Structure 1
Amino acid sequence: MSQVNILIAVNVAQAINTGRLGDYVYMVDDSLTGKSSGEGGDELSTVCENGDTVVWRVESIDPDQDVSINRFDGDIIATGMVNPAPYPQTDSDTWGGRINSVGTQVEYRMYLTLNKNTVQSFDPFITATNPER
């Protein structure tokens, strides 16, 4: 089992000004499968293996703006695929969880708190396969 890191860079000021977080989110991952798609936007589809740990980290592209992960919901939670939780030592900018089941293009909604008072969301995907033996 391995760890898959997902970085979410956010233009907080533009997301607040327009109310369209998804237009100002830039996602990348370091999945070793080489099969992830949609990097560079808000519709990242991360491909990993059942049993992997997925770690989400959010950063503002402007150091004068603040962003943190508020919560997750959607099909990854409803199906029990993964239940992300905050890493307490990180001020809610890093959350993680273990992949508990397989699924293809399972959508989830990620809610971010912008400048400590505005919550907006977007909806990327995870695909988890069983490890090859």
Structure 2
Amino acid sequence: MRTIDVLVIIDCLSATASGNLKNNAYIVDTNGYEGSWNEGTSQLVTVCQDGQGLSWGITSVNPGNQVNIVSFSGQLITSKICIPQKQGIPGAETWKGKVQSRGGIGQYKYTLALSINGKSMSFDAFIKVV
């Protein structure tokens, strides 16, 4: 089973100016037309299967702005469906986890906590285990 890569793109200038990530986060994954929906919004629903790997990366739309994933929280973590761990070196970090729904199916919300130029912000996204 292939790993699904999720890319989080942040408009750092607009996010920090408005205090709003929901309208300034754009998420896409490598599922293409295989079932994920709300791509290009902060409300991406990544469709995956039990046992499948997930990998999150982040970048800024604005050159020179620093944005990092700080942590994951929410139902995805508390239900132990997937517990992403930071990997890589500073400046090239990814967060990787494996879906472990133990045969269960359903949609699980998660919160991404970010650091944008030193300011803490967060927003919610979803995975759907089928």
Global fold match (TM > 0.5): yes
Find the residue that maps to 1:123 and give its secondary structure.
strand
**Which amino acid is 2:56 matched to?**
W
Which residue does 2:128 correspond to in 1? 127
Q: Which residue of structure 2 aligns with residue 60 of structure 1?
A: 60
SS in 2 for 1:22: coil
- 1:37-61 residue CA offsets vs partner (Å, 9 max, x unmatched): 0001000000011111100010001
Query: How many Å apart are 1:32 and its aligned residue?
Result: 6.6
* Partners of 1:84 and 1:26 in 2: CA distance: 20
User: Under a length normalisation based on structure 1, what TM-score does the superposition of the two structures give?
Assistant: 0.90
Unaligned 5+ residue runs, structure 2?
none
Summarize deviations over 1:62-88 as a string: whole Å, max 9, x none. Answer: 121110001000000011100011113
Distance 1:52 1:124 in 2: 18
Instruction: Provide the secondary structure at the position in 2 that maps to 1:39.
Output: coil
How far 1:90 sits from its partner (Å)? 4.6
Give ranges in structure 1 of 5+ residues lacking alignment: none
Q: Superposition pairs for residues 93-112 of structure 1, below 5 Å? A: 93-101=93-101, 102-112=104-114
AA partner of residue 99 (structure 1): V
3-state SS of the aligned residue for 1:21? coil
Cα distance in 2 between the residues matched to 1:40 and 1:90: 26
Does residue 76 of structure 2 align to residue 76 of structure 1? yes
TM-score when normalising by structure 2: 0.92
RMSD over equivalenced CA pairs, Å = 1.5
Task: List per-residue Cα deviations over 1:69-110 (Å, max 9, x = no partner).
Answer: 010000000111000111132547411101111432210001
Q: Does 1:48 align with 2:48?
A: yes
Which residue does 1:10 correspond to in 2? 10
Q: 1:77/1:16 Cα in 2 relative to 1: closer, same or farther (>3 Å)? A: same
3-state DSSP of counterpart to 2:63: coil
| Identical residues among aligned pairs (%) | 30
